[in-house]
Homo-oligomer: A and B are copies of this chain.
Amino acid sequence: MPILVMKFGGTSVANLDRIARVAKRVGVEVANGYDVIVIVSAMSGKTNELVGWVNETSKLYDAREYDAVVSSGENVTAGLMALRLQEMGIPARSWQGWQVPLLTSSAHGSARINEIPTDNINAKFGEGMRVAVVAGFQGISPEGRITTLGRGGSDTTAVAFAAAFGAERCDIYTDVDGVYTTDPRIESKARKLDKISFEEMLELASLGAKVLQTRSVELAMRYNVKLRVLSSFEDEMNDQAGTLVCAEDEIVENNVVAGVAYSRDEAKMTLVSVADRPGIAALIFGALSEAGVLVDMIVQNISEEGRTDMTFSCPTDQVARAEKAMEQAKSDGVLNFAEIIADTDVAKVSVVGIGMRSHTGVAAKMFQCLSQEGINIQVITTSEIKISVLIDRKYMELAVQALHDAFELDKAA
In Å, the complex CA distance between A56 and B58 comes to: 35
Tell me the dominant secondary structure on chain A's binding face: helix
Considering the chains assembled together, what is the distance between the CA atoms of A78 and B72 in angstroms?
11
Closest CB of chain B to A119's CB: distance in Å? 12
The reply on A337 being an interface residue by CB < 8 A is: no
Contacts of A93 in B (CB 8 A): 62, 64-65
Residue A57, interface by CB 8 Å:
yes
Q: A64-B93, A65-B93, A82-B65 are in contact. Are A76 and B58 (CB under 8 A)?
A: no
- Chain B residue numbers with a CB within 8 Å of A76 are 50, 53, 69, 72
Q: Which residues of A in the span 223-282 have a Cβ within 8 Å of any Cβ on B? A: none
A70-94 at interface with B (beta carbon < 8 Å): 72-73, 75-76, 78-80, 82-84, 86-87, 93-94
A16 engages B56 (CB within 8 Å)? yes
**CB-defined contacts of A75 to chain B, threshold 8 Å:** 68-69, 72, 75
* Cβ contact within 8 Å between B94 and A57: no
Interface check A285, CB cutoff 8 A: no
In the complex, which residues of chain B have a beta carbon less than 8 angstroms from the beta carbon of A87? 57-59
In the complex, which residues of chain B have a beta carbon less than 8 angstroms from the beta carbon of A146?
96
Could you tell me the distance in whole angstroms from the C-beta of A114 to the nearest C-beta in chain B? 19
Interface size class of A (residues with CB under 8 A): 35 or more
Copies of this chain, count: 2
Is A54 an interface position by the 8 A CB rule? Answer: yes
Judge whether A312 is part of the interface by a CB distance below 8 angstroms: no
Contacts of A83 in B (CB 8 A): 54, 57-58, 61-62, 65-66, 69
A20 to B56, CA, bound (A): 11
| Shortest beta-carbon distance from A231 to chain B in Å | 23
Q: Is the CB of A53 within 8 A of B69?
A: no
Contact surface of A with B, Cβ cutoff 8 Å: 16, 19-20, 50, 53-54, 56-59, 61-62, 64-66, 68-69, 72-73, 75-76, 78-80, 82-84, 86-87, 93-94, 96, 98-99, 144-146
